[in-house]
Amino acid sequence: MGMQSKMATFVERMHEVTNFDQFQHLVEGLRSLYQVEHFVYHSINSAGEPYAALTYDIDWVDHYIDRDFGRIDPVVLGCFQRFHPVDWKQLDWSGKAVKSFLHEASDAGVGNQGFSIPIRGPSGQFALFTVNHRCSDAQWAKFAAENVQDLLLIAHYLNQKALELERGTDALPNQMLSPRELDALTLLGLGNSRAHAAENLKISEHTLRVYIESARFKLGAANTTHAVALAMSRGNIIV
């Protein structure tokens, strides 16, 4: 199955989701779709209430919560301080407690390779989308290169669907565009290509696309051109 058809399959399945049980099945279905062992979507809403849909063994999840591993987990700590996607190799896995945690995680079936995407939603909501697998560095680099764009969009779409299920509607409240979203739309409005816009912002085109998609959802725009036009008409950007 090609990358475009995989993404199309995911979007089709997502549109059929109407409750959190189906959302869990949607996340589970990503395993066979992308041939990866584990996917995790974890969210903390503005009231501090957690929600997770994941494929890890439930005994490991219970143990993780009981031991409060979130206090030392480099993925949680590292991503909470970042805005951009993080390969687990970029994180600090040194320290006795962390090494012990890593050993327990490995015994529980958590893979040696990981890629996590921090997501910041409305009213202080924070979410994390993670892909986890056991394979060599070369195999993981190949998978990441081929699928990173899909994963960025899937993270965004999952968060939007989770927010929709929480609110009981797909109508988004009025949301302020972030500085990066405003920068991205402004540069596109000035006629910059996506490549030039990403270069000016010193980010990848994949990351730029996430900012654009996020702005599009917030504005209720049908496409990027519509998003730029709406942002201009509302005075969000001036070009």
CATH number, domain containing residue 119? 3.30.450.80
Q: State the pLDDT at residue 173.
A: 55
Among the residue ranges 139-143, 146-150, 207-211, 225-229, the one predicted with the least confidence is 225-229
pTM value > 0.75: no
Residue 186 has pLDDT above 60, yes or no: yes
Examine residue 173 and state whether it is found in any structural domain, yes or no. no
Let me know whether 79 and 45 are in one domain. Answer: yes
CATH of the domain at 221: 1.10.10.10
Listed in sequence order, the residues at least 6 apart from 157 whose beta carbon sits closer than 8 Å to its beta carbon are: 10, 11, 14
How large is the average pLDDT for residues 212-229? 83
Let me know whether 102 and 141 are in one domain. Answer: yes
Compute the residue count for the chain: 239
Single out the residue in 109, 134, 167 at which a domain terminates. 167
Examine residue 238 and state whether it is found in any structural domain, yes or no. no
Let me know whether 50 and 73 are in one domain. Answer: yes
Let me know whether 136 and 21 are in one domain. Answer: yes
CA gap 198, 187 in Å, rounded: 9
% of the chain surpassing 90 pLDDT: 60
Q: State the pLDDT at residue 46.
A: 63
Single out the residue in 134, 167, 200 at which a domain terminates. 167
* Total of domains in the chain: 2
Residue 43 has pLDDT above 80, yes or no: yes
Among the residue ranges 51-65, 150-164, 170-184, the one predicted with the least confidence is 170-184
Residue indicated by tokens 């892909």: 131
Examine residue 229 and state whether it is found in any structural domain, yes or no. yes
The CA distances from residue 226 to 172, 196, 217, in Å, are 17, 20, 11
Examine residue 172 and state whether it is found in any structural domain, yes or no. no
Let me know whether 204 and 98 are in one domain. Answer: no
Let me know whether 149 and 204 are in one domain. Answer: no
Domain that holds residue 205: 179-233
Listed in sequence order, the residues at least 6 apart from 3 whose beta carbon sits closer than 8 Å to its beta carbon are: 146, 147, 149, 150
Residue 175 has pLDDT above 80, yes or no: no
Let me know whether 151 and 194 are in one domain. Answer: no
Let me know whether 140 and 223 are in one domain. Answer: no
Let me know whether 79 and 197 are in one domain. Answer: no
Residue 39 has pLDDT above 70, yes or no: yes
Residue 112 has pLDDT above 80, yes or no: yes
Let me know whether 103 and 148 are in one domain. Answer: yes
Residue indicated by tokens 């700590």: 77
Neighbours of 83 (CB within 10 A): 16
CA gap 83, 207 in Å, rounded: 10
Residue 239 has pLDDT above 80, yes or no: no
How large is the average pLDDT for residues 118-123? 75
Let me know whether 91 and 207 are in one domain. Answer: no
Let me know whether 195 and 162 are in one domain. Answer: no
Q: State the pLDDT at residue 53.
A: 97
Q: State the pLDDT at residue 65.
A: 93
CA gap 155, 116 in Å, rounded: 9
Examine residue 239 and state whether it is found in any structural domain, yes or no. no
Single out the residue in 117, 141, 167 at which a domain terminates. 167
How large is the average pLDDT for residues 87-112? 96
% of the chain surpassing 70 pLDDT: 92
Concatenating the DSSP letter of every residue in 10-69 gives: HHHHHHT--SHHHHHHHHHHHHHHHT-SEEEEEEE-TTS-EEEEE-S-HHHHHHHHHTTG
Q: State the pLDDT at residue 216.
A: 85
